[in-house]
Structure 1
Amino acid sequence: MEVKNQTVVSELLLLGLTENPKMQFLIFTFFISMHFITLLGNLLIIWAVSCDSHLHIPMYFFLSNLSFNDICLVTTTIPKMLVNLLTQDESITYTGCLSQVCFVLIFGSLENCLLAVMAYDRYVAICHPLKYLVIMNPHFCVLLLLFSLLISIAHALLHTLMVLRLSFCKDLEIPHFFCELAQVINLSCSDTFINNMLVYTVSSLFAGVPLSGIIFSYFHIASSVFRMASLGGKYKAFSTCGSHLSVVCLFYGTGFGVYISSAFTDSPRKTAVASVMYSLVTPMLNPFIYSLKNREIKEAFRKLIGRIAFPL
């Protein structure tokens, strides 16, 4: 089999979710609708938080950053897919493909970190309420955000730079709607042992540590809530955590679902369909979860709608 050096590769092919041409228009309509809903929902969250002074607290600071990260995540993959469907052209440049790999890893990793940081914020608010404003001061919140961003970038660059050392064969078809790291590695004709080991070890560590932090936080939150004598206090504590816990279950549930589907199916197409859940459905549903379960967000939306409907 002829091998090309990675510097010779000019483009790859994204085969998408199906080869059926009759399904292309339906898929295009489905994805552009979901993309629009995702952008609109998350922009509304950011707008509501920025306009309502009552929401200028750490919890909503991290929520608005989570919404911005979700916008970035879907914008990294969906527009290119929509252009390919519209033009009936499956190609993506090698540079564009590596850029997708890198940015998907950055925003996916940052989502993971932000959920852990938000769990820590709820832990401090419920378990140490008197020290909350001292611990979660603006300077510390910004540091947590920057640290999460830096380690997410480092994680993404590690994998992306390791892909640069690989050589590729003639067949450069990716059975996916975006350039996913594992799919790109599978195209290589080089020895991919180190790359695969990094994917399993570093990614497992990167996902496992934040998830352990979330579980630790909620264990202590549950212990504190059950010790409360007031039913009203218990309800208020659980209501502030309900939205975040739902988003955590959705994010990790869909992520594990994709992992399980890839382990038990030989069809890359089915894995690609499953990955739609964490790459698009989760960012789309996050604003709805917070707006439906959070009383303060709903109140902020009412004020926002009032200002738009009655500007004077």
Structure 2
Amino acid sequence: MTALPTPERIMELALTTTPSEASVATPSPAARKKCDVLLLISSAAAAGYERRRRAVRRTYLTALREQQLQGTVEYRFLLGEPPTAEEGAALDAEQAEFGDLLRVCVPESYETIFAKVVAAWRWAVATHDFAFWMHADDDSYVRLDLLLGWVRSPAASPQEGVYAGYLWDGSDGRRTKPLRDPAQKSYMPVEQWPHDSYPPFASGCGHLIACDLVGKLVELSPSMSFFRGGVGAVANLRLVHIEGVRPYRPLPLFRRETLVQHYMQPEEFRQFHERAVAAAAEADGGAGPGGGAAAPESEQRIAAVYDLFVQAKVLRR
């Protein structure tokens, strides 16, 4: 495995232009594309992740072809530099077919997620006029109907300074401490974060940041330090908890009120999508696939037990 550049060099790369899109240094307001939500879906340039992107394109992103949603949500899959020339060639072919990849000049690694996001913020303000910037993972299913409902609800207003998602803010057992074991995926070195706890932050599986706040973060980006893995701990903002964002897998997996469901396998997207379409159709007064029927009795019993464990703080929602 090739060693990563120094943290300082990684952040320098985050501030450069992207190889596949126009420079982010001199945005033209007149040329920016308008949308309610600019969705960046974190993926990876390594081989194998194309399965996740294919599952996302074939399920919830199909809604963007519907007339009533056109122009409301724009998206890109966020990728770093491919590890090999062969993987780079495969991404070139994927981009030629779909045109939905944002490849930034940051080395591809779980450790460099924050730097990739910084690059995506800079690209976003240069190319789009959006109300909210959103980050989701490529193993998250996003209910776009519920997302737009939330964006247009009183919970999202006023928009200034909003940072919304599943908040780890100390309430209802939603607490987290830095993991100091280097073997852990979310390992946090003491030199990067010496404190015993994090400030409130939203799960990366699906969170939103208001346009004005993204602009401020871009202004600050030249002075930002490398931060391993996370995004939320760098900002001080107006926090909004969204109960429908689920960083964990509930029982049963599909819930009608779920806005973002994390930890989805590619083969699970289709069935989850069919049930989400049916639920949306029922909410609109239609039948939809399966008639929008209520969940089977067995699922309802499982859900009731699961909710009891959540209320008792034995499980996390």
Q: What TM-score does the superposition give when structure 1 sets the normalisation length?
A: 0.34
Larger RCO (CA within 8 A; separation ≥ 6): 1
Higher strand share: 2
Higher helix share: 1
Larger Rg: 1
